[in-house]
Structure 1
Amino acid sequence: MKYQPAIMSASLGRAWLHNLNYKIEQAAKAGFKGIEIFYEDLDYAAREISGNDSPSAVDILSAADRVHEACQAQGIEVIGLQPFLFYEGLKDRDQQARLIEKMKLWLQIAKRLGTNTIQIPANFLPAEQLTDDLDVIAADLRQVADMGAAESPVVRFAYENLCWSTYIDTWEKVWEVVKRVDRPNFGMCLDTFNIAGRVWADPADVTGRTPNADADLKLSMERMVKEVDVTKVFYIQVVDAERMETPLIPGHPFHVDGQPARMSWSRNARTFMYEKDRDAYLPVEDIARTIIHGLGYEGYVSMELFSRTMAETGQYVPDEHAARGIAAWKTFQRNVL
C-alpha cells in the first residue's frame, strides 16, 4: 500500500441517527479501503445490540467484535479508534488515574476491532483544569504509550493538535510532545484543517484569515519538512472548511457561549476538499503536498468531516457523505499524489 482512502465513521452521519453497519457498507461501496471508528458510534452500536442505554464493557467489546466482522465482510480496514478525550495534563490526578483504567478497555476494543492505532486529540478542557507543563503532558502520554507497547500486537497512539486545543494547538507543539514522549509507538495524526485552522484561518475575523496567513503558513511548512521524522506520522486527515459569511462571534448562528470560535466552526462547517460550492477555502493542498512530497508520507489518507450536515435525518445522509468523500479523494489523487 502506498496511498489508500479512508473515512471516519462519524463523517458519514451522527451515531444516534445513522446505523454504523450501514455507514460501513456505504463507505465500502463508495470505494474507501479504511475507516476510523468513532467511539460514539461504537457506544450506540452497543446500545442497539444490548438494549441497554448504559452499555457495559462487555457490551462495548461485543459491539467491537461485530463492527470488525462487518468491516471484514466489506473488505474495509479499521485504521484507528478515536477520540480518547481529555486525558493529558490534568491537574486532577484522580481523574487521570480513572482515565488510565478507561484506557485498559480501549486497548481491548482496539484489539477486537483489529486496529493498532488509538488517536488522542490534544486536551481542550478549560485552562484552569490543565497544566501547560510539557514534562507532565509528556509523562502522561508516555504512560499510555507504555501500556500500548505491552500489548501484542503493539498499539500505537496518534496524538493530534486541534486548532482550539488549550495548549497543544499546533503541529509544532505536538511534535515537541512526541519528541519528549520518545516512544516508538507514539506519533502524530496530521490534520489539514487543524493545521490551517490555527496558523492560517480565523473564523472570528471578517477576512477569515490570520493577519500574516500566507507567510506564517509557508514558514510553518518549511519547519515541518526540516524537523519532522515521517515515521512518526501515523496517518493523515485531509479536510477543508467553509469560510464564514460573517465573523463567528456572539450573535453568529454557530456561536456557543464559552466555546472557542474555532471549535464551533469545526463542529458545524468543515467540508470535504474541493467543495467550492460549500465555500471551502483553506490551503489544504499546500499542507497535504508538504506532508506527502516534502516529508515523504505514505499510507492512509482519511477524508475526515465534521459538519451540521451529518445531523440531518434520512438514509441518504451516509450515502451522500460517502459519495462526497470519495469524489474529494479522486480529485486529491489527481492533484496531489
Structure 2
Amino acid sequence: MPNRLGIASMSLGQPGIHDLPSKLEQASRHGYEGMELFFDDLDHLAKLRFNGDHVAAAYHISQLCNSLHISIICLQPFWHYEGLLDRTEHARLLSAKLPKWFELARILGTDLIQIPSNFLPADPQTGKPRTTGDKSVIVSDLREIADLGLQQSPPFRFVYEALAWGNHINTWEDSWEIIERVNRPNFGICLDTFNIAGRVYADPSSPTGKAPNADADLQASLTRLRSRVDLSKVFYIQIVDGERLSAPLDESHPFYVKGQPARMNWSRNARLFAFEEDRGGYLPVLDVARAFFDLGFEGWVSLELFSRTLADPDPSTPHNHAKRGLESWKKLVSALQLDTGVPASVHSSHNPVPSSLPVQHRL
C-alpha cells in the first residue's frame, strides 16, 4: 500500500468559524485523500444544519466524501476515557457515548476510532486528581473498549496516541507498553512527530525551547522505536512541526492558560507543517519521520496541525492551510523518497490546486 496523504479536519480551520463541507472541498482540491474527522466539526455541522442530529450530519458528510473521493481515516478524539477514578463516568462512556460513535463511524465509512492519552485536569472544586496512573487500570479500561470493538459486526479498531502533556502516558514508550499489555488485534498506535519530539526534545517553557540533553535523548528514543515497535500495530502516523517561541511559555506568555500544561498550550497555538522553518519550525521532524518509515510503514500520513491561525475568520483560511500542508508533503516525499503510488516527476511538477481561490461552499 503506498503512502497516502491525509489531514485532520481541525487543521483546515476552527469549527464554528470554518464549516466542515468547505474544509472537505479544500482538502479534495489540494489532493488530500483522507481526513481525520474531529467530532467537533461534525457537531458544529449537526447543530447548524440538522437540528443537532449527528446521524443526519454524518450521512451528509459521507455523501460529500464519496463525491470528493475522500476517505475518513478515523473519528476522533474519544478522550478522557482510560484511567478515570470516577467509574460511573467510565461506565457512561462505554454504555452511552461509544455505541453512538460506532454508529457514526459506520456511516462515515471508517472502522477506526482514536483515543488520546488522558489529560483530564484535577477537579476544579477539590484540586484532587481525576485519573489514576495505575497502568493495570489503564490497560484494563483499554482492553475493555477494544473487546467491545471486536464484538461489533464488522469489528472496530482503536488507535492510541500518547499526548506530550498526558497525565500519565506522555511518551511513545509509555503508549507502546500499554498497547503490548492490552494485546488485542484491533488496538494499535498512532505515531506523531510533534508529540514525540514535543516531549523528549522540546520544552516550550525553557528559554532555549529545548529539554536538557534533547538531542541525545531523542536519538536514543528513536533507536528504541526502530527496535521495539511492531509495524502491524502502527495504524497511521502524523507529521507536523512546532514553532520555536520567542519567549518561554510561562505566566506572562500570551499562550498561557492557568491550570494547563505548557506543552498543551504550545500545541494548541503553535504547531506548524513540516519544513516551515521560515515560520519558526525547529523540531527535528525529519529524523522522527525517518524512524517511522524505517519500520517499513506504508499507509495514511496525516498532517494534524493546531494553531492560532486556524481561528482566522478569513474565508481563505482552509485554502491557505491546505496549500501549506501540500507543500510540506511534497518536501517530505522528496526528502525521504516515499512511495505514494505517483511518479516523482508528478510531485515535483504537477500542482492540483487551481490558480484562483475556489468559491467557498455555502451552507
TM category, shorter: over 0.9
| Higher-helix-fraction structure | 1
SS in 1 for 2:236: strand
One-letter code aligned to 1:271:
L
How many angstroms apart in 1 are the aligned matches of 2:23 and 2:151? 33
Residue 335 of structure 1: aligned partner: 335
* Structure-2-length-normalised TM-score: 0.90
Query: Which residue of structure 2 aligns with residue 145 of structure 1?
Result: 146
Describe the superposition over 1:253-302 as per-residue Cα deviations: whole angstroms up to 9, x where unpaired: 10111110000000000000111121000011101100112x11110100
Which structure: larger Rg?
2
Could you tell me how far 1:152 is from its partner in structure 2?
2.1
Match of 2:233 in 1: 232
Distance in 2 between residues matched to 1:78 and 1:68, nearest whole Å: 8
Tell me which residue corresponds to 2:11. Answer: 11
Find the counterpart in structure 1 of residue 98 from structure 2.
103
Residue pairs, 1:1-337, within 5 angstroms: 1-50=1-50, 52=51, 55=52, 59-100=53-94, 101-126=96-121, 128-293=129-294, 295-336=295-336, 337=338
What's the secondary structure of 1:320's corresponding residue? Answer: helix
Query: Matched residues in 1 for 2:35 and 2:81: separation?
Result: 24
Which residue identity is paired with 1:261? A
Report the CA distance between 1:126 and its aligned residue: 2.7
Structure 1 distance, partners of 2:208, 2:318, is: 33
Looking at structure 2, the residues matched to 125 and 190 of structure 1 have their Cα atoms a distance apart, in angstroms, of 21
Q: Which whole-Å CA distance do the structure 1 matches of 2:153 and 2:56 have between them? A: 20
Percent identity of equivalent pairs: 52
> For the residues of structure 2 that align with 1:284 and 1:47, how far apart are their CA atoms?
38
Q: Deviation per CA, 1:129-165, whole angstroms, max 9, x where unpaired?
A: 1111111101111111111111222211000000000
Q: Take 2:108 and 2:315, find their aligned partners in 1: how far apart are those partners?
A: 25
In structure 2, distance between residues paired with 1:147 and 1:138: 14
**Number of aligned residues:** 330
User: 1:48: Cα distance to partner?
Assistant: 1.5
**SS of aligned partner of 1:129:** coil
One-letter amino acid of the counterpart of residue 79, structure 2: L
CA distance in 1 between partners of 2:266 and 2:316 (Å): 24
Following superposition, the deviation at residue 226 of structure 1 comes to 1.1
Structure 1, gaps ≥5 residues long: none
Q: Helix, strand or coil for the counterpart of 1:159? A: strand
| One-letter code aligned to 2:57 | A
Stretches of 4+ moved more than 4 A in 1? Answer: none
